[in-house]
Amino acid sequence: MSETSAEHTGQDGWIACLTYKSLATAPPSEPELSTLVSKARTRNRMLNVTGMLIYERGAFLQTLEGPKDKLDTLWTSIKQDRRHEHIEILTEHIAPARLFSDWDLLLHSRNDNAAPVPKAASVAPPAIDAHIRKLRELALNADDVRINAFFASLQDEGWTSDAVVTLLIEPTARALGDAWLADECSEFDLTIGLSMMQLAGHAVRRHTSGSAIRNTQYKILLAVAPGEQHMLGTSILADQMTDAGWRVDMAFPDSDEALFNQLRAEHPDVVDIGLSDAMARPQALPRLRTTIDHSRLAASDHPTVISVGGRLFAEAAATAASVGADYARLTAAGASIRMAELVGMSRATKTANRQPGG
C-alpha cells in the first residue's frame, strides 16, 4: 500500500480501505477455503480489520478496512500468499466509516465445491431483497443523491442505522461484487459503487449518532435566485449537503412567487438562494434583498434560516447582512455545519418566543 498520512487513521476514526482482485493459483477446495477464511477471521479480529471476501470460479475479490498500520501488515502477508496471483488493487483510500462494521471477514462464495455459507441476502425477506436490488442499480448508476434520499426515507420510517448498514448496505456491497464477477459491471462501476455505499453508511450513522447538530436530519431547499441561469455552485452544494446527511430539494423558480409557493409547501429548515457563480453582478443585490424579505414572510410559520451564495459573496464583496440573509457561504466547504448551527439557534429562539412571557 502506498503511504497515506497517519493522522487520517487514528483517533479521528478514519480508516484505510483496500479492494483488490486476484486469481486463485489453483481453485481451493471447500475445506481449503474454509480454513483460509477461519484463520483470516482470527487474525483480522486481532488487528481490528473488517471486510469481505468473495470467491467465485477461480477469482477472489476482497475488501479490507481498518487502521492503516494494521492493514499494511496484513497486506504484506496477503500479497505474498502463493494461493493467489495476478493481484490487482482496485481501490485504496481513506474513509470515514467501515462498510463491513460487523464482519471480521465475510465470505461470500459461489464455489461449486465449497460448503454453503450463510448469506444474509438469501435469507432476506422479499421486501429487503427488493431494496437491495434497487440500491444495486442506484449504486451502479452512481446516483448518490437518490441513495442518500432512500436511506433518509427509511430512517424516517424508523429503520435504525444498524439495520440499514447490516440489512442493506453490506448486502448491496456484496451484490456489487457479484455484479462485477458476473461481468454485469466494470471495475470502475464496482469501485464507485462500493465508495458510495461507504459514504452512505457514514451518513446513515451520523444521522442517528454523534452530536446534537448531526443527529437531526435537516431539510434544505436549494434555490437559484428567481430567473438565474447558472447553478453550478448550487449543485455542488447539493452534493455536499447530501453527503452531510441533509434532505435536499432543489428549486429553479422563474419568479419570486414560484419560490414563495415552494417555501410554503415544503417548510425547509434552510433555504439557500444562489446567485450566479460565473458572473459578479452587484446590481443583483437589491433585487435579492427584496426576494429574501418576502421569503421570510412566506416562511413565517416555520423557522427557516436563509442562506445566500454566489460569486459576489465568495469574493466577500457582499455580506449576508447586505441582503438580509442569515448566512453567506463563501465556499460550500463547512456550510452544512454552520447551517445546522443556525437552524438549532433559530429553533431555540422560536421556542423561547413561544413561552408565556417569552
Ligand X SMILES: Cc1cc2nc3c(=O)[nH]c(=O)nc-3n(C[C@H](O)[C@H](O)[C@H](O)COP(=O)(O)O)c2cc1C
Stretch that binds ligand X, among 81-89, 140-148, 190-198, 199-207 (CB under 6 A): 81-89
Q: With contact defined as beta carbons under 8 Å apart, do 303 and 263 qualify?
A: no
Among 33, 36, 99, 152, binds ligand X (CB under 6 A): 36
Least distance between ligand X and beta carbon 169 (Å): 20
E strands of the chain, at which residues? 15-24, 50-56, 59-66, 84-95, 106-109, 219-224, 247-251, 270-274, 305-309, 327-328
**What is d(CA 102, CA 91) in angstroms, rounded to the nearest whole number?**
21
Which of 70, 84, 108, 206 touches ligand X by CB under 6 A? 84
By CB atoms closer than 10 A (0-12, 13-18, 19+), residue 2 is: exposed
Distance of alpha carbon 349 from alpha carbon 279, whole angstroms: 36
β-sheet bridge partners, residue 65: 17, 50
Round to whole Å and give the CA distance between 136 and 81.
32
Query: Helix crossing, 126-140 with 187-208: angle to 10°?
Result: 120
- Residue 76 or 290: the one with the smaller Cβ distance to ligand X is 76
Out of 105, 114, 121, 308, which residue is the one contacting ligand X (CB under 6 A)? 105
Q: Is 110 in the site for ligand X (CB under 6 A)?
A: no
Please say which residue, 187 or 256, places its beta carbon nearer to ligand X.
Answer: 187
- H, E, C per residue of 75-111: HHHHHHCCCEEEEEEEEEEEECCCCCCCCCCEEEECC
CB of 163 to ligand X, least distance (A): 26
Interaction of residue 85 with ligand X, rule CB under 6 A: no
Q: How far is CA 104 from CA 19, 48, 53, 63, 83, in A?
A: 15, 8, 10, 11, 21
Site for ligand X in 9-28 (CB under 6 A): 22
User: Please, are residues 57 and 23 in contact by the beta-carbon 8 Å criterion?
Assistant: no
Nearer to ligand X, 5 or 76 (CB): 76
| 338 is a contact residue toward ligand X (CB under 6 A) | no
Residue from 4, 8, 43, 48 touching ligand X (CB under 6 A): that is 43
Please state the closest distance from residue 299 (CB atom) to ligand X, in A.
Answer: 53
Verify binding: residue 81, ligand X, rule CB under 6 A: yes
How many beta carbons lie within 10 A of that of residue 196, not counting itself? 24
Q: Which three cell numbers stand for residue 336?
A: 452544512
Applying CB under 6 A, does 83 fall inside the site for ligand X? yes
Q: How far is the CB of 79 from ligand X (least distance, A)?
A: 8
CB of 2 to ligand X, least distance (A): 19
Size, binding site for ligand X by CB under 6 A: 16
Q: Which stretch binds ligand X (CB under 6 A): 4-12, 56-64, 176-184, 348-356?
A: 56-64
CB 196, CB 222: distance < 8 Å: no
Least distance in angstroms from the C-beta of 53 to ligand X = 6
- What's the closest the beta carbon of residue 144 comes to ligand X, in angstroms? 28
The radius of gyration of the chain from alpha carbons, rounded to an integer in Å, stands at 24
Which residues ranging from 60 to 79 are in contact with ligand X (CB under 6 A)?
60, 62, 64, 74, 77-78
Query: How is residue 209 written as a grid cell?
Result: 449518532
**Residue listed under C-alpha cell 484505510:** 16
Cβ proximity to ligand X, 64 vs 288, nearer residue: 64
Side chain identity at 69, as an amino acid letter?
A: D
Which residues, numbered 168-227, are part of the site for ligand X (CB under 6 A)?
none
**Other CB atoms within 10 Å distance of the CB of residue 123:** 9
- Residue from 33, 40, 135, 305 in contact with ligand X (CB under 6 A): 40
Tell me which residues touch ligand X (CB under 6 A): 22, 36, 40, 43-44, 53, 60, 62, 64, 74, 77-78, 81, 83-84, 105
